[in-house]
Chains A and B, each alone.
Chain A
């Protein structure tokens, strides 16, 4: 079945850039997403990208998609302590449920 893999932890210093990586196996994926989960809260949609795009930028967030390698990344510029959270990569095809990775815990130190 479909699988989404992420590294479990990332630690950065405040002001640096963070890059969170994800690989997926389903070549039919239509949409790829990044969600953020803060402690004790549900998941919040950060951004998404269609599979026919290579890059999407939204303020401090840059998503890069390498469809050939089935690799998705999320870059957070000027990382702040408030960005500390768990970041989930997810994918689906139109009309099917999202499949999530296990999440990457981002720790930002001042």
Chain B
């Protein structure tokens, strides 16, 4: 398996633009997590899905952020409109119920200028 695949690896965008981050979890995994990493706040859980259903989105910062999981092999995290304070590394991770630990993707480094 190629692991959790995130795209793009790097994204630079102007303030006010829409940004879409993509994630393909490991085949067979039924939980998917979006985390944001910054120096100041460390790793923050934004949202997680179980069997494609959002379970906890309390970490989503505000209405500008939205996440979808239309099927078991794909998820998106969208920011509209983007702001400079959204600059961070966004990680996607997946897991299988009953197994411990997550598998993380390599992350998307987002820079909003």
Please list the residues of chain A having a beta carbon within 8 angstroms of any beta carbon in chain B: 31, 33, 40-45, 48, 88, 95, 97-103
Q: Which residues of B contact A44 (CB under 8 A)?
A: 104
Report the Cα distance A101→B48, complex, angstroms. Answer: 18
Report the Cα distance A102→B104, complex, angstroms. Answer: 16
Q: Are B42 and A103 in contact (CB under 8 A)?
A: yes
Report the Cα distance A41→B91, complex, angstroms. Answer: 10
Q: Are A42 and B105 in contact (CB under 8 A)?
A: yes
Report the Cα distance A33→B48, complex, angstroms. Answer: 19
Q: Are B101 and A42 in contact (CB under 8 A)?
A: no
- In the complex, the chain B residue whose C-beta lies closest to that of A103 is B42
Binding site secondary structure of chain B: strand
Report the Cα distance A102→B100, complex, angstroms. Answer: 21
Q: Knowing that A97-B45, A99-B45 touch, tell me 9 more A-B residue pairs with CB under 8 angstroms.
A: A33-B100, A33-B101, A41-B107, A48-B100, A97-B33, A97-B56, A98-B33, A98-B45, A103-B43
B40 to chain A minimum Cβ distance, whole angstroms, is 9
Q: Which residues of A contact B106 (CB under 8 A)?
A: 40-42
Report the Cα distance A102→B107, complex, angstroms. Answer: 17
B8 to chain A minimum Cβ distance, whole angstroms, is 14
Q: Which residues of A contact B105 (CB under 8 A)?
A: 42
